[in-house]
Each structure stands twice: as C-alpha cells, then as structure tokens.
Structure 1
Amino acid sequence: MSAPLVEVRDLSKTFDVSAPWLNRVVERKPRQFVHAVDGVSFAIERGRTLALVGESGCGKSTVARLLVGLYEPTRGEVRFDGRPTREVLASREGRALRRRMQMIFQDPYASLNPRWKVEDIIAEPLREHGLLKDATARRQRVGELLQSVGLSPADAGKYPHQFSGGQRQRISIARALATQPEFLVCDEPTSALDVSVQAQVLNLMKDLQRERQLTYLFISHNLAVVHHVADEVGVMYLGRLVELAPKRELFARPQHPYTRMLLDAIPDIRMTGRARTPVQGEVPNPLDPPGGCAFHPRCPHANGRCARERPPLQALRGVQVACHAVEEGRI
C-alpha cells in the first residue's frame, strides 16, 4: 500500500474570541476560546477523495484552511508527500509546495475579483509562480484551461459578472488548475449553485480527477453530493471526527448515532418504512461545549460514561468511530 499524499495528525486550531482587554477588565469577564478543530487525524491516498461532512460550525472549513496553510495549527501537523507543510512553507521550497496544492472556495461570486477580466484571474497563478513569462504563451494557456472546464477561450475577455454561478465556479476551477496541482481542497464548491448546475460541476470535477490523477479533500454538508464524489467520508461534530469510513460502508451501515441522524434526515424517496431517528436538539455552544462526548446531550444512547469521558477515534467494526455506545455494543 503506497504512502498517503496527505496526512493529518492530531490537528487542532483554537481561536481567541475574547472581548477587548478593557471590556474584560470593566465587566470582569475571562478570556474566551473556541476549539474550532480539536485533534483531527486522517490520511488521503493519491487520486482519492476524502469528504468531510457535518453541520455548519463543526470545523470543516477550518480544516480546509489549515491544510493549505491559510491558518497555522495550534497543535498537530499536516504532512504532504511525507513532509510537514509548516516547515516546507516557511522554507525556500514553499512556493513549489503551493503550486502542488490549491483551493476552490465556496462562493463563486466572492472569490473572483469583479474588476479583473477572466484572463487576468486565471493567469494570476501563472504570473505569481513565474510559470509562463511570455504574455502570448499565458494567453494560450488560459484558453486551454477554459476549454478544460467546458468554457470557450473567447470567455477570457469577459468579466465575472457576465457569467452565471456555475460558470463562475468553472472559472475558479480553471484558476486552481493553472499551476497543475496534485491536491485540491474543495470547500463546499457547489453549495451556492442550483441543483442541476451542481451536478454539472461535480461531474466536471470527477472527469478532471480521472484525467489528471488529482487528490481531493471535499468539504460539504450535503450527503447526496458526498455520495456522488467521495471514496471515504469523515463525519465531524463540534471540531472532532466522530466517524471515518469508506463511502459504501458509511452509507450502508453507519455506526455513530450522529451519522445515523444525518442519514435519517435525508428524505426517503423509496418509502421503505424503515425506522428513522428524528434530528434532536441543536449543536451546543462552541464557547461552552459539553463535557465527555460532545454529542451526548442529543444522543438517544448516551449514559453516564458518555457525559464523563471523551471517546477516542478508534477502529471498531471495521471503521474508525468515536463512540462509547458502539464500543460497548449498546447500538
């Protein structure tokens, strides 16, 4: 078995969300911290797709930004091709590493400069990394990239406002592909698009993955999208991974109660009559998370141990699960 291209070990990120110093002194309030990501570990093999799913605020997008170096981790490390990214990005080899990993952002309306033409937007990585210094060669390369995502080379002379949402996301994908990366971090790339356009963009991304042997980290809260694109699925809750499993295994036999709750929230078109657990409660306040297992206030299988001890992510029933109830066979 080959070594993974991307490996994440005990990754954590804490944000200081305290009020200004003077307010804290006057109101006698302590400093406050949010543990946005708390001890996450996973690996992605070359040419594969790992999807991270979970409710809003669970830390998915923070993991994405940690992987590409937009945030520095509070604890843990990210390794790319066997080397720690933090060290490499701080060295002379940092630019070469950035060429090998790129990111596609969630909002195609906010991630493109409205004052730039499409040619300038897609050519920016080529100029920044000094890949093509000749203007004619850059223009030709931009035309090739636009064709690779289903647009016309003539679109290079237009502005972002002249395109639909799906076309703008194609432009974002073309920009991400400009440096010929090996690894793409996709932060909910279709959530701002209509369902029919989502399918087109997802199919495009799968085609590009096959053609270029790309490796994806795919962030989403839409399980239907995840089922279409992922090879493995990691389920996050309040900054932690609660289940990590191959896609087929997770959708056929979910282990963690939270994963079951997410899958039960999907409408049952076939009307199978299977017993379903309704979604209960709300995500706790991340400034004051519950002790023990963070999910225990919403879990129908919780007991005293769940309220006291935080379950580690461990191999159970052939998948990685963090749940006392699964470990003890209560589910």
Structure 2
Amino acid sequence: MNPLVQVKDLAMRFDVSAPWLNRVLERKPKQFVHAVDGISFDIPKGKTLALVGESGCGKSTVARLLVGLYKPSGGSVAFDGRDTREWFGAKDSLSLRRRLQMIFQDPYASLNPRWKVADIVAEPLTEQGVLKDPAAIRARVAELLTMVGLNPLDGAKYPHQFSGGQRQRISIARALATAPEFLVCDEPTSALDVSVQAQVLNIMKDLQAKQGLTYLFISHNLAVVRHMADQIGVMYLGRLVELADKAALFANPRHPYTRMLLDAIPDIHLTGRDRVAVQGEVPNPLNPPSGCSFHPRCPHANERCKQERPALQDFKGIRVACHAVAEARI
C-alpha cells in the first residue's frame, strides 16, 4: 500500500540578508538560513508520524510546507501520489485543501476573537463550498462541536469565553469541518496545562481511530510523542538525524542526540541508568558547523564527524545519520 504522504529531499531556505543598500555599502553577500535541509519520510494512511527536536530545528517549517503555507526551495511533497506544489496551483486545488488541514500551536492566536464559535467552525464549510444551505451548515457545526466534547450551544459564544483547552477543541472542530484525511498538528498542546493536554490528546486519538485520520504531529515533548506517535523522526538543525518506530526508538535510541533528548526526560522509575543531560546549545543556523552539525555537542565526535556530513542510513530498521553508529563506535 502506498503511503498517503511522501516527502522527498524537502528543503526550505529563507533569505535573511540585510537590505540591498546596506549590503553594497558593507560589501556583504546575501545570507540564507536553511530551515529545512533535505529531509525525506513517508506517512502511511491512518498512522501518526511525530517530528521532535529543540526549538529552531525546522519542525514547524516542515508543517507549513506540507499544507502549502510555504513553497519549498527544493524537493517534493506528494499527497495520495500527486505532487502538492502542482496540485495547490491547479484548478482542483480546493479538493486538496479539503483533504488536508492544520491545527496551530496557539489556540489564543488562531481563533478570530470577533467571531462567534459557530462562524469560526463553519468558515471552512462556506469558504470551500462544502455546504451552502444554512440549516445544513448549522447541523454540521453542532455535530463537529459534539465530536470534540463541546456543547452545540457553545456555538453562540465567543473564543474569550473558553479556556485554553476548550479553544483548542474549537480549533480541532474547525480543522475537521471539511472531513480531511490528513491533519498537520503543530505543537497543538504545548500552550496548555498538562491535565488539559491529556484530554485534547485523547480526543485526537479517538478521532483518529473512528475516522482513520493520518497525522503529522510536531512536538518537543517526548512524553506527548510517546502517547501519540507510531513513528518518530528526530530533527536537528533542519535535518533528520534518526527515524524509527516508536517502540524501537524509546527502547534503543541510536543517535547521540536522540539519547540526550531521552535522558532529559525525568526518570520516575529511578532505574539507575547513566543519564546525560542535553548539553550545549543549538549552533547559529546562519553559520552551521561543518560536517555533522551535531559534532560540537557530541561526546563521540571524531575528525570524520567534523569534516563529512553523514547520510541517513538504514541500521536494522532504524534510519540514522551518524558516523559513530555506522562505524560501530557506539
């Protein structure tokens, strides 16, 4: 069975140069940030791939590339076997936009404070021409609000009358309005309290089971990822450094960066295992290190790591970009 989403060598660079006159006077070249630097992955239908990593590693840029908010600098994204760059520009682009939606990180910023909840949830239905009859739209909005654990009468209220968790449920209801197959979730619970996070995540899991949804789940919280994901990709400075099934990654992390991320999670079982906190800081993306970009923070780095960038290779079903793993040094 072909994956629903196929990403190949996806790249995104941003021009962060100074204004033209400043560059001429100071004789400086253009500057670019490689926010996403050639990543590839597949997401099977009905499954969840999670992307994790520290802030600034390019996770949210990947999310925006997949839903067409950015045009990639290189590589391709295929949805149901069709290239999305071509599809977004085609006459039938609405059919693609109905089939993929995004849930944003901040439920306080992503909902229009001047609109009633019923209008917010109904907007995709009217904008994309899914429903035209006002009675049918009202019935669909009531169904969507019920689906995410809210009361249909809540449609008459404004966003400020709800808590953060309830607002995120409204965001989920809006995203589900067009009955999409694929949801891109950009840290959908990071702005919420821990107890509320669990409620929202459980709603998302239930919806996935009932409707066969496919998720790309962006997070920096590995506990959340463990609850949601089938497969996990670990990103560092715009590149994938490890890609594995959830069970394999948590049981036997291979890349030194993945090990550091897992060691940073509080150990409630106090297993006595040696733990190494995440050390150092993410390098300046304007001037990334040579070779493997993780080498300044890596306890296993050698001369090859400083000079040669590792490729993502398959090691017993886990894909890892690390010279130390390839040479069996760790």
Aligned position for 1:235 = 234
Q: Does 1:280 align with 2:243?
A: no
Post-superposition shift, 1:318? 2.3
Secondary structure of the corresponding residue to residue 119 of structure 2: helix
Amino acid corresponding to residue 154 of structure 2 in structure 1: D
Secondary structure of the corresponding residue to residue 37 of structure 2: strand
Q: More deviation in 132-141 or 259-268?
A: 132-141
| d(CA) in 1 for partners of 2:126, 2:309 | 48
Aligned position for 1:87 = 86
Aligned position for 2:160 = 161
Q: Does 1:221 align with 2:220?
A: yes
Aligned position for 1:205 = 204
Amino acid corresponding to residue 315 of structure 2 in structure 1: L
Secondary structure of the corresponding residue to residue 150 of structure 2: coil
Aligned position for 1:77 = 76
Aligned position for 1:328 = 327
Deviations along 1:258-288, one digit per CA (max 9) or x if unpaired, are 0000000011111111111222111000000
Post-superposition shift, 1:82? 0.6
Q: Does 1:130 align with 2:109?
A: no
| d(CA) in 2 for partners of 1:152, 1:187 | 25
| d(CA) in 2 for partners of 1:231, 1:270 | 24
Post-superposition shift, 1:242? 0.1
| d(CA) in 1 for partners of 2:179, 2:317 | 36
Amino acid corresponding to residue 109 of structure 2 in structure 1: A
Aligned position for 2:194 = 195
% same residue: 76
Secondary structure of the corresponding residue to residue 144 of structure 1: helix
Deviations along 1:215-266, one digit per CA (max 9) or x if unpaired, are 0000000000000000000000000000000000000000000000000001
Aligned position for 1:65 = 64
Deviations along 1:33-79, one digit per CA (max 9) or x if unpaired, are 00000000000000000000000000000000000110000000000
Aligned position for 1:186 = 185
How does 1:13-92 map onto structure 2 within 5 Å?
13-92=12-91
Q: Does 1:3 align with 2:2?
A: yes
| d(CA) in 2 for partners of 1:24, 1:163 | 49
Post-superposition shift, 1:27? 2.2
| d(CA) in 1 for partners of 2:227, 2:161 | 30
Aligned position for 1:99 = 98
Post-superposition shift, 1:312? 0.4
How does 1:105-124 map onto structure 2 within 5 Å?
105-124=104-123
Amino acid corresponding to residue 187 of structure 1 in structure 2: D
Amino acid corresponding to residue 88 of structure 1 in structure 2: W
Aligned position for 1:262 = 261
Amino acid corresponding to residue 173 of structure 2 in structure 1: A
Post-superposition shift, 1:28? 2.2
Runs of 4+ in 1 over 3 A off after TM superposition: none
Amino acid corresponding to residue 13 of structure 2 in structure 1: T
| d(CA) in 2 for partners of 1:317, 1:256 | 14
Amino acid corresponding to residue 28 of structure 2 in structure 1: K
Secondary structure of the corresponding residue to residue 207 of structure 1: helix
Amino acid corresponding to residue 44 of structure 1 in structure 2: I
TM-score, normalised to structure 1, is: 0.99
| d(CA) in 2 for partners of 1:328, 1:277 | 22
Unaligned segments of structure 1, at least 5 residues: none
| d(CA) in 2 for partners of 1:278, 1:126 | 47
Secondary structure of the corresponding residue to residue 272 of structure 2: coil
Post-superposition shift, 1:200? 0.1
Amino acid corresponding to residue 161 of structure 1 in structure 2: H
Secondary structure of the corresponding residue to residue 184 of structure 2: strand
Deviations along 1:128-183, one digit per CA (max 9) or x if unpaired, are 11111111111111001000000000000000000000000000000000000000
| d(CA) in 2 for partners of 1:203, 1:119 | 23
| d(CA) in 1 for partners of 2:280, 2:128 | 48
TM-score, normalised to structure 2, is: 0.99
Between the two proteins, the alignment pairs up a number of residues equal to: 330
Q: More deviation in 89-98 or 217-226?
A: 89-98
Aligned residues: CA RMSD: 0.6
Aligned position for 2:291 = 292
Secondary structure of the corresponding residue to residue 114 of structure 1: coil
